Amino acid sequence: MTTESILIVDDEEFLRDQLERILGEEGYAVRGVETGRQALEAVDREGVDLVLLDLNLPDLHGIEVLRELRGRDPDLLVIVVTGYGSVESAVESLKLGAYDYIKKPFKADAIKLIVRLALETQRLRRRVRVLQERESGPGQAVVAESPAMAAVLAQARDVARHPETTVLITGESGTGKEVVARRIHGTSERSAGPFLEINCASIPGPILESELFGYEPGAFTDARRAKEGLLQTADRGTLFLDEVGDMDLGLQAKLLRFLETRKIRRLGGVREVEVDVRVIAATNQDLRESIEARRFREDLYYRLNVFPIWVPPLRERPEDVLPLAQYFLDHFARKFHKPRFEIAPEARQGLLAYGWQGNVREVRNLMERLAITCRGAVLRAEDLPEEVRRSRASSGERWVLPPDGCSLEALEAGLARDLIRQALERTDGNISQAATLLGLPRGTLRHRMESLGLRSGGPPEDEDPSPG
């Protein structure tokens, strides 16, 4: 849990010491200064959660300090402390954005209560801001008619009950890894807290480090004010690290240390802060291959891979194609103020025959396009793009169902096992080459082989066999 920081601004040393003792006993990080200018410097230099501000200061009037503080950080909480009992000053401070005011002398219980309420208000404001910033639209619901996705959701349900456990979600790009992460968060004890996500592949290493850990003023050229990092902002919630395999090695070491200690230190800072956050990481890479290539730390892999979840590609769960298409069509029909679309049988066949290399993301994008271009209330085969129509035309050969029926699951498993064996025989057990023949990512082929009980029989480390 984050240790919230409080700055006491008062020129009476006895009062500062008293407040530091009272609030320090409550677990807050408390420090005191005696002038208004010192207060402004401290807020700029360190960043604080709450200021207890005396109005009678030796250099600046408290109202002037309050105005400066609010101008620099509108979200900063300020409680005004006054010995005058002046109603006018108290009212003016509230108009300038002070959270509340308290008169001297005050009781310890009263100051504890008002501080606790103020900081709870701050936490609620942050949660509301996070909720407002969350992207709305499709992608939050999980459409899962296939046994494969039912198994994924069962795993998500299991780990959601253990809010401290780190999760590693793997799978091809566009399969819905973030959706699974949101399902874990939303069905856990952390659901009232923030869910924050960051794509490690899209942000350069130094910037990614400052985004995750935050920074102090002067930590680098443009760091004029203290900034809270995502790990601290996600306190009591979940941080989703997408494409974690693209994180540089130096930052991997810092992430590993956080996972071991649950403490962070901002860039340029000296104070460690404890935070309560679940980390869910995701990647479309084979991290074991990255470890062999020395692009990913093995110790970090084991720290992240406490609870692994593999999301299969859409081509391996055809039962989900049509429900996903209908779900996205319904969403975009509402968004574009159109009637609900029906999918004609011949269009259904085309969607089922298509390969969906872009997985769920490709379904979503195509349904958005079709919701715009389709002129009627029925989506027909001729409405589909050429590449989808071609896939339907090329799948004209039909399988004949035996009179007594058959097990589709057994047939699929048998066909997959036979094709994988052939590919491995043709490549002398080289998994990378076999994956290329089968049009699969290497990690996907590994998972299929494990599920079917197959071994490569190839040379160690999947190296190409060398003659002689």
pLDDT in tens, 23-41: 988 888 899 999 999 998 8
Which pair of tokens denotes residue 124?
């609620």
277/419: higher pLDDT:
277
**How far from 29 is each of 6, 54, 199, 219, 258, CA to CA, in Å?**
6, 19, 32, 21, 20
Neighbouring C-beta atoms of residue 420, cutoff 10 Å: 22
Percent of the chain with pLDDT strictly greater than 70: 85
Percent of the chain with pLDDT strictly greater than 90: 36
Write out the residue limits of the CATH 1.10.8.60 domain(s) in the chain: 326-394
Give the pLDDT score at 140: 53
Q: Which CATH class is domain 147-312?
A: alpha beta
Write out the residue limits of the CATH 3.40.50.300 domain(s) in the chain: 147-312
Instruction: Provide mean pLDDT across the span 322-328.
Output: 91
> What is d(CA 417, CA 453) in angstroms, rounded to the nearest whole number?
9
Closest to 153 (Cα-Cα) out of 173, 135, 180, 177: 180
CATH number of 326-394: 1.10.8.60
Instruction: Provide mean pLDDT across the span 299-324.
Output: 94
453/283: higher pLDDT:
283
Identity at 280, one-letter amino acid code: I
pLDDT band, very low/low/confident/very high, at 328 (cuts 50, 70, 90): very high
> What is d(CA 329, CA 333) in angstroms, rounded to the nearest whole number?
6
The angle subtended at Cα 26 by Cα 20 and Cα 28, nearest 5°, is 65
**Furthest-apart CA atoms within the chain: distance in Å:** 97
Bridging pattern class, strands 227-228 and 214-215: antiparallel
- Residue 196 CA from chain centroid, whole number: 4
Write out the residue limits of the CATH 3.40.50.2300 domain(s) in the chain: 5-133
Average pLDDT, the chain: 83
Instruction: Provide mean pLDDT across the span 428-457.
Output: 81
95/374: higher pLDDT:
374
pLDDT band, very low/low/confident/very high, at 345 (cuts 50, 70, 90): confident
Which pair of tokens denotes residue 432?
């990378």
Instruction: Provide mean pLDDT across the span 47-71.
Output: 86
Instruction: Provide mean pLDDT across the span 300-307.
Output: 97
Which pair of tokens denotes residue 445?
């082929």
- Ranges of H-type helices in 307-354: 321-335, 345-353
137/435: higher pLDDT:
435
Q: Does the pLDDT of residue 395 top 80, yes or no? A: no
**How far from 186 is each of 19, 191, 292, 311, 441, CA to CA, in Å?**
39, 5, 35, 18, 30
392/5: higher pLDDT:
5
Which fold would CATH assign to domain 5-133?
A: Rossmann fold (3.40.50)
Which pair of tokens denotes residue 443?
């990690």
Closest to 175 (Cα-Cα) out of 423, 363, 368: 363
Give the pLDDT score at 359: 94
Instruction: Provide mean pLDDT across the span 110-132.
Output: 73
pTM greater than 0.75 (yes/no)? no
> What is d(CA 285, CA 442) in angstroms, rounded to the nearest whole number?
9
Q: Does the pLDDT of residue 51 top 90, yes or no? A: yes
Asked whether the beta carbons of 227 and 48 are under 8 A apart, the reply is no
Q: Kindly report, residue by residue over 217-254, the tens digit of the pLDDT.
A: 766 766 667 778 899 999 999 999 999 999 999 999 99
